[in-house]
Amino acid sequence: MTAVVVLLGLVVAVLALLVVGLLRSHAEILKRLHQLGAGLDPDEPGQPASPPPTPVTSREDFQVMPQVPSPPDREAFGGAADLVGVGPGGNESLSVRIQGVEHDTIVAFLSSGCITCQKFWDAFAKPRKLKLPSGTRLVIVTKGVDGESPSSVASLAPSTFPTVMSTQAFTDYDVPGSPYFVYVHGPSGRVRGEGTGPDWEQVSSLLSQATVDAGLTSSLEGQVVAKPDADAEREARIDRELFAAGVAPGDASLYAPDLTADEGADDGQDHAHDHGGDHTGHDHP
């Protein structure tokens, strides 16, 4: 009888261990599922849902049509600059203001030789069919006389849009090849969109998207509470003076230097402007 009781006790003990093990395993699974966000009610307040995993496409996986250039090897938009060069035919010296103007500008980088560019030259010869966004100026840029034939460019250049022959512009805008298009917001002088396509319809669609995005940004800016007149005037004056001094929007000098590299080396030093903010919106007495 005693042996039976002992045996029964051992069986109960083993079963109890199994149940505890199963419960722990189940708890571990629930914990992992909770970390992944499963089983949460999105409408329930105070329950943060984890974002879905973002699909990653590497630059090597990204391919474009053979007749258009690949995107440049950089993450952000390139820079913008005013255009200076010679006119088609090489007989005229001209400058076109892109930054600090009221209108936006589409800069079309073309070549007289590439087959795809021919479609754009043809499209630009019929300005009414282009349907450019309102308040937008189209400027065509080819390489300078060192890389293009002035007479060839003159035979292609439309009479209604400025055509600037400037190799420097290709460098300034970091253009990967032609045809290539850059949309610049005039008042800020910042690039709002860039890219290319096999014809004007596709490029126009791309630029329209940039324009819509910009319009959305502007409408959101309109909801910002207005600053007092004195502040707004001071900001405008500072912007004008900076621009006149050659400091354009986005200039590196407007931002605090990255001190993480030499952190510790300057311990105890007094930094005159080391508060991490930019200086575009306020001045110091």
Partner 1 sequence: MKLESHGIETDLPPGWEGRIGVRTQPTADTRAAGEVSAIGAAREVPHPIVHLANFALPEQRGDFGSGAVDLMGAEDVLVVLFEYGPECADTALFKRRGIPKNLTPSMFSSSALQRTLPGQAGCQIFFTEAGRAFCSYTVLGRQANALRVLPQANDTLSRTRIAPR
Q: What is the dihedral of CA 102, 158, 165, 81, to 10 degrees?
A: 20
* Residue linked to tokens 């258009």: 68
CA distance 283 to 234: 8
Least distance between partner 1 and beta carbon 142 (Å): 15
Which residue, 237 or 271, has its beta carbon nearer to partner 1?
237
What is the size of the binding site for partner 1 (CB under 8 A)? 21
Pick from 217, 191, 171, 208: which is nearest to 77 by CA? 191
- Near partner 1 by CB under 8 A: residue from 82, 174, 235, 239: 82
Contact between 95 and partner 1 per CB under 8 A: yes
Least distance between partner 1 and beta carbon 94 (Å): 5
Largest Cα separation within the chain, whole Å, is 119
- Near partner 1 by CB under 8 A: residue from 68, 80, 96, 191: 96
- Near partner 1 by CB under 8 A: residue from 91, 134, 219, 223: 91
Count Cβ atoms within 10 A of the Cβ of residue 98 and give its class: 0-12 exposed, 13-18 middle, 19 or more buried: buried
Least distance between partner 1 and beta carbon 103 (Å): 6
Q: Tell which positions 124-183 bind partner 1, by CB under 8 A.
A: 137, 159-162
E strands, the chain, in order = 83-86, 93-96, 104-109, 136-142, 163-165, 180-185, 190-195
- Near partner 1 by CB under 8 A: residue from 4, 220, 244, 252: 244
Binding site for partner 1 (CB under 8 A): 82, 84, 86-87, 91-97, 100-101, 103, 137, 159-162, 243-244
